[in-house]
Amino acid sequence: MTGGRQPSVAELRPAADNRGMTAFPPGFVWGAATAAYQIEGAVNEDGRGESIWDRFSHTPGAIANGDTGDIACDHYHRWREDIALLQAIGVNAYRFSVAWPRILPAGRGAVNEAGLAFYDRLVDGLLAAGITPWITLYHWDLPQTLEDEGGWPNRETAVAFADYVRIVVDRLGDRVKHWITLNEPWCSSILGYERGEHAPGKRSTRLALRAAHTLLLAHGLATAVIRDRWPDARVGITQILTPAYPASDDPLDVAAAERYDAAYNRWYLDPVFGRGYPGEMRAWLRHDVPPTPSSDFDIIAAPIDFLGVNHYFPAYVAHDDFDPYLRLRRVIPKGAELTAMGWVVQPRAFSDLLQRLHRDYGPIDLVVTENGAAFPDTPPVAGRLADPARVRYLAGYLAEAARAIADGVPLKGYFVWSLLDNFEWAEGYAKRFGLYYTDYATQERTLKDSGRYYRAVVRAGAPLPATTPLD
Ligand code: IFM
């Protein structure tokens, strides 16, 4: 996903208006997304087991402000209200994840009926509300018992995952037809096992690459399980994809951007599309790459029905001899607008990415399973919360999604991250991505202007200018 050249500062500015906007096609999937640990809370209720995020978030110093997901948005108790939030913005789909430790508290073995019953109720509630459930089977909450046995670097975890998936799809597959095996294996492996920023907080490149491989294997095994049980199901994997642009024309920076792309995008994409790991990156990482029997790649390359694209920002990459891993660092271009996460706002990179995925990995349906932004919101006043930066972000990115479709990219759906403010992992509750503001003291949810804007887009079935009057 190297972009070839660094966009100018003018190009970096989000579109003030969306000139030449094209409507989204009929049948387009309009959704909002969440994940279990980020919203559910109720971590000790109804037989749920411990996850690596319970353990990690209770580790002093691991999470900003000492926050944990113990209560989060209390969605476990407020799911009916949250379905009403989805209805109020008019979306036709909801992406959420199933918590593995609610289903199998010890990771494998005894099934917790109360856990399955919770998702049963949620699915039934969504369908009754006319909202299609899209389920992510793994969004980072590995049962702690499996981590104690070696976690994702242990190949046995892939087998345990396939068993867990069988249990979930057997129970819900009569009503749920859209399945995402994994959310962002790059994050699970690199942030969790290489950088120590996410659970389980390990710091080893070797462990991270083992984890990445087991995760991909788990995806392949799970895909086969779902197809076997429900031939009419649609199965995909969600990747975090960060197009890389060289920070300058210097050949060293150009090569660094290519390394970034190979290590962070293609390492996770190429095997899924039957190409194995990128050869040049395999050579670069040499000793840290685990043994990979070729039969693994056959499993990993099980055909999928769609590629889930999570995209937030592009990376501008410079060569850096002090970086021991990839010899690179990300730089922020002068004049770039940043979100509260410090991520560059650059809508144009979104359509570049979608085009590139279509060109290099197509034909495959693409679904944007996450896109959105954290900005510092102030609490609502009299039921209103103006968040113009998030409205501008969505306007710019939706316009680029529409542009990609107009240019022939088979983009079938778009899910905003996130439905409501929630536990933003290592950042705790400090960073807010929601269309709804969550007051964590009262659990009151308030629709932000960005939620009103998104509702208008869904109604119109077309990208709208950020200046659209909101009701
Ligand atoms: O909150 C996360 C989500 O869980 C996975 N994708 C990125 C989001 C924002 O950081």
Give the residue-averaged pLDDT of 122-134. 99
What is the tens place of the pLDDT at every residue in 17-50?
445 567 999 999 999 999 999 999 999 999 999 9
- 441 to 35, 67, 293, 445: CA distances (angstroms): 20, 13, 51, 11
The predicted-structure confidence for 152-164, as pLDDT tens digits, reads as follows 999 999 999 999 9
Ligand 1 midpoint to CA 228 (Å): 30
Does residue 97's CB lie within 6 angstroms of at least one atom of ligand 1? no
Looking at ligand 1, which residue's alpha carbon is closest to its atom 9?
Answer: 424
Centre of ligand 1 to C-alpha 363, Å, is 27
CA 371–ligand 1 middle distance (angstroms): 9
Cβ–ligand 1 distance for 424 under 6 Å, the answer yes
pLDDT at 7 over 60: no
Mean pLDDT of the chain, nearest integer: 96
Averaged pLDDT for residues 287-314: 97
Catalytic residue among 184, 194, 258, 424: 184
113 is known as an active-site residue: no
What does the pLDDT read at residue 2? 56
CA distance 243 to 73: 32
Active site residue 184: yes
Q: Is the CB of 416 under 6 A from ligand 1?
A: no
Q: Is 180 in the pocket of ligand 1 (CB under 6 A)?
A: no
Judge contact between 218 and 162, C-beta under 8 A.
Answer: yes
State if residue 417 touches ligand 1 by the CB under 6 angstroms criterion. yes
Q: Which residues contact 350 (CB under 8 A, 6 or more apart)?
A: 311, 371, 397, 400, 401, 404
Q: How many CB atoms lie within 10 A of CB 425?
A: 24
352 CB under 6 A from ligand 1?
no
* Residue of 198, 415, 424 to test ligand 1 pocket, by largest number of atoms within 8 Å of CB: 424
- pLDDT score of 16 more than 50: no
pLDDT value of residue 22: 78
Q: Are 12 and 333 in contact (CB under 8 A)?
A: yes
> In this predicted structure, what is the pLDDT of residue 433?
99
Active-site entry in 40, 370, 400, 424: 370
DSSP single-letter state for residue 426: G
Ligand 1: atom nearest CA of 183 is: 5
Among protein residues, the one whose CA lies closest to atom 4 of ligand 1: 35
pLDDT recorded at residue 13: 42
pLDDT band at 100 (very low <50, low <70, confident <90, very high): very high
Nearest to 142, CA basis, from 199, 203, 74: 199
Burial 154-164 (b: 16+ CB within 10 A, else e): bbebbebbbeb
Q: How far apart are CA 196 and CA 175, in angstroms?
A: 38
Strands (E), 387-435: 411-417
Q: 446 exposed, middle or buried (CB, 10 Å; 0-12, 13-18, 19+)?
A: buried
Q: Answer whether 35 contacts ligand 1 (Cβ < 6 A).
A: yes
User: CB of 421 closer than 6 A to ligand 1?
Assistant: no
Beta-strand pair 444-447/436-439: antiparallel
Q: Give the whole-number percent of the chain exceeding pLDDT 90.
A: 95
Which residues, at least 6 apart from 246, have a Cβ–Cβ distance to it below 8 Å? 2, 5, 6, 253, 254, 256, 257, 316, 317, 318
**pLDDT tens for each residue of 245-262:** 999 999 999 999 999 999
∠ CA 8-9-15, nearest 5°, is 105
* Atom number of ligand 1 nearest to Cα 341: 10
Distance 280 CA to ligand 1 centre (A): 29
333-380 pLDDT tens trace = 999 999 999 999 999 999 999 999 999 999 999 999 999 999 999 999
Give me the pLDDT at residue 14, please: 43
Tokens of 347: 């809508």
Which of left, alpha, beta for 2 (phi over 0: left; psi -120 to 50: alpha)? beta
Taking the C-alpha atoms of residue 272 and residue 213, their distance in angstroms, rounded to an integer, is 11
Domain segments of the chain: what residues? 9-460
Q: What is the CA radius of gyration of the chain?
A: 21
Please give the model's pTM, rounded to 2 decimal places.
0.96
Provide mean pLDDT across the span 42-71. Answer: 98
Whose alpha carbon is nearest atom 1 of ligand 1? 424
Please say whether the beta carbons of 43 and 52 come within 8 A: no
Model confidence band, residue 412 (pLDDT cutoffs 50, 70, 90):
very high
By DSSP bridging, strand 234-240 and strand 315-319 are unpaired
Q: What is the pLDDT of residues 163-177, one digit of tens each?
A: 999 999 999 999 999
The CA 295 to ligand 1 mean position distance, Å, reads 32
Least confident of 21-30, 88-97, 187-196: 21-30
* Class (C level, CATH) for 9-460: alpha beta
% of the chain at pLDDT higher than 70:
96
